[in-house]
Amino acid sequence: MKQSQKLERMAKCCKEAIDDYGEFFDLISTGGYDNDGSTGPQMVELGIGLGFDMCRYGEPVEMFVAYVEDGPHTCCYWSFGRDEDDAIARIREKLEVCDDEETRAALALFDGAS
């Protein structure tokens, strides 16, 4: 697992521009012990599912994480790819498929911040 500044920038841009942005990342979780209501079994299930998705993607594959402050909490955004650019490309592909005003705004923010 590697911390990613690009993923952090993407998460902030999506959070700013899109009401329901969770679907674009492989996983979003809390950043610590500020439990969001998830139970241990749910979190393990999500982690196992993410591991299977990574295996199906093929090798080499790496997990990238970004920590973003969200009010009093920290959220973690997770995305995997062959490298950091591939992880971002996977998110961009999902955004581009939506092709609505919110997702175009998120991509414009990301591209403007690059």
Predicted confidence at residue 34, as pLDDT, reads 56
Domain that holds residue 80: 2-109
Q: What share of the chain in percent tops pLDDT 70?
A: 90
The DSSP code sequence of 23-80 is GGSSEEEESSS---S--HHHHHHHHHHHHHHHHHH-SS-EEEEEEEEETTEEEEEEEE
Tokens of 3: 């911390």
- Please indicate, yes or no, if residue 23 is contained in any of the structural domains: yes
Tokens of 114: 């690059």
Residue owning tokens 């591939």: 86
- Please indicate, yes or no, if residue 7 is contained in any of the structural domains: yes
Say which DSSP state 22 is in: G
Q: pLDDT tens-digit profile of 60-97? A: 999 999 999 877 778 899 999 999 999 999 999 999 99
Tell me how crowded residue 62 is: count the other CB atoms within 10 A of its CB: 16
- Please indicate, yes or no, if residue 48 is contained in any of the structural domains: yes
- Please indicate, yes or no, if residue 114 is contained in any of the structural domains: no
Number of domain units in the chain: 1
pTM for the whole structure: 0.86
